Amino acid sequence: MKDHHHVWRLSGHLDGCHSYTSAYACLCGAVRNVGSERDFTEDGMGWAMWYDSECARCRELADGDTPQSWDEVVPAK
């Protein structure tokens, strides 16, 4: 598969209180996970519906911790 170029197809999406992730799959068997944590310090209240006062990570992000993002590819076995 030397010249293979992945064709990613959405296989799932998870949207939680402080982060969201989309999972993609390629026909070759590789998987890609892309996501980000919410920035609760942004102007506006668009994030307010997601904030969960019981979630430790939500509190850390609201207190100014830097949101993380990821884009990981797991090669086919």
What's the CA gap between 41 and 54, in Å, rounded?
18
In tens, the pLDDT along 16-63 reads 999 999 999 999 999 999 999 999 888 776 777 888 889 999 999 989
Predicted local distance difference test score (pLDDT) of residue 1: 54
Predicted local distance difference test score (pLDDT) of residue 77: 86
The DSSP result for 39-68, as a single string, is -TTSSSSTTTTT--TT-HHHHHHHTTPPPP
What's the CA gap between 32 and 73, in Å, rounded?
4
Predicted local distance difference test score (pLDDT) of residue 37: 95
What's the CA gap between 20 and 37, in Å, rounded?
7
pTM score: 0.80
